[in-house]
Amino acid sequence: MSKFIYRMQSILNLKYKLEEQVKMEFAAARMRLDEEEEKLRCLFERKASYEEEGRRLRGHNLNVQDILDNKNAILQMGDYIVNQKIEVRRAEDELERKRQKLQEIMQERKVQEKLREKAFEEFMKEENSAESKEVDELTSYTYGRRRR
């Protein structure tokens, strides 16, 4: 029975290692999402800056080329923002996959812990029963010798 418990502990140790690995993958996915969201935030700020510059250009002396360049920059930022939103969505999806994987691994580990605990309890019951039997046999033997 002790070999069985040892094997169960080995499996549990493996589950702990897998859980740690998945936690690291989850953290990496979280960092990627944070980076992608930061890029998107910067693009929005840049676009707002171009829009502000456009308002300023239209308010002063009218330089058609500067206004057209500004308009093109704003349109380009719009394209960048759309593409970055796609990257953010991909990062969110990846984070969700990692979260689900982590949840599964943690559940598997908990099941393995329960199985090991039950096996250990069963082992202890068997050991206690064997010990009790030995004590009873010893008591009977000792009592029998005294009567002779």
Number of domains in the chain: 1
Give me the domain span that covers residue 62. 8-105
In-domain check, residue 119 = no
Name the more confident of 104 and 136. Answer: 104
Predicted local confidence at residue 148, as pLDDT: 61
In-domain check, residue 34 = yes
Please state, as a whole number, how many other Cβ atoms lie within 10 Å of the Cβ of residue 31.
12
In-domain check, residue 142 = no
pLDDT at 21 over 70: yes
31-54: pLDDT as tens digits: 999 999 999 999 999 999 999 998
The pLDDT-based confidence of 133 (bands split at 50, 70, 90) is confident
77-96: pLDDT as tens digits: 999 999 999 999 999 999 99
The pLDDT-based confidence of 69 (bands split at 50, 70, 90) is very high
CA 130 from centre of chain = 45
DSSP per position, 72-103: HHHHHHHHHHHHHHHHHHHHHHHHHHHHHHHH
pLDDT at 64 over 70: yes
In-domain check, residue 20 = yes
| Threshold 0.85, pTM exceeds | no
pLDDT at 1 over 70: no
